[in-house]
Chain A
């Protein structure tokens, strides 16, 4: 597709269940990012992938969170044993290269996956 695609758009899950969120980046984009945004709050960095390099997982809030990416394609973010504090929109973004790699390297966001834990 033309843009970053995320699914599901909305997910309501019971506390304690596992959820999997999917991100399909723009074709050819080597860098992929996951952010979390709680209602009324700023963007919180979770993880990024760059080509075949080891991902930067420094933003993952706990070991209940994990993410994978196969090559330069789809990524999945998994949250195990969900808690109510996990309720947020999870935003995926992609870019041709890492931020700052060259002038004009733009990061594009998907519309997000809205997660509600009840």
Chain B
């Protein structure tokens, strides 16, 4: 099992839709979890950390399920500008990234 796995997509959704991404991780000792956004040919940028109780930032909600070892990202009311690749990252010995899920929001 890979350390961090994501559905590569692409997810093609209309503007205004709600879309959810999941990410599974194999290291049960992982302590910190993150979602990054990466635009084409750009560096990853932190979107949000994921806390045990779940957290929300505007249209974005992140949740952690330690028992099942996955984290999720929910985007509500999708905008064209949300089109990007979304990477989950998990701490172990270092910060390990999933391969990312590509999202395209269509007018």
Q: Which residues of A are in contact with B by a Cβ distance under 8 Å?
A: 33, 35, 41-43, 45, 48, 56, 58-59, 91, 98-100, 103-112
Contacts of B98 in A (CB 8 A): 42
Supposing A48-B94, A58-B93, A111-B43 touch, asked if A100 and B32 sit within 8 A by C-beta, the answer is yes
Q: Which residues of B are in contact with A by a Cβ distance under 8 Å?
A: 30-32, 34, 42-46, 49, 51, 87, 89, 91, 93-100
By the criterion CB–CB under 8 Å, are A110 and B49 in contact? no
Inter-chain pairs besides A56-B93, A59-B94, 17 sampled, C-beta below 8 Å: A35-B97, A42-B87, A42-B99, A43-B44, A43-B87, A43-B97, A45-B94, A45-B97, A91-B44, A99-B32, A99-B94, A99-B95, A100-B30, A100-B32, A100-B91, A104-B49, A107-B46
Contacts of B100 in A (CB 8 A): 42
Secondary structure dominating the interface of B: loop
Supposing A42-B99, A43-B44 touch, asked if A56 and B94 sit within 8 A by C-beta, the answer is yes
By the criterion CB–CB under 8 Å, are B31 and A100 in contact? yes
Supposing A99-B32, A100-B32, A104-B49 touch, asked if A42 and B42 sit within 8 A by C-beta, the answer is no
- Expressed in whole angstroms, the minimum distance between the Cβ of A53 and any Cβ of chain B is 12
Task: Closest B residue to A104 by CB, please name it.
Answer: B49
By the criterion CB–CB under 8 Å, are B99 and A41 in contact? yes
Contacts of A109 in B (CB 8 A): 43-45
For the complex, what is the distance from the CA of A91 to the CA of B96, rounded to whole Å? 14
Contacts of A107 in B (CB 8 A): 34, 46, 95
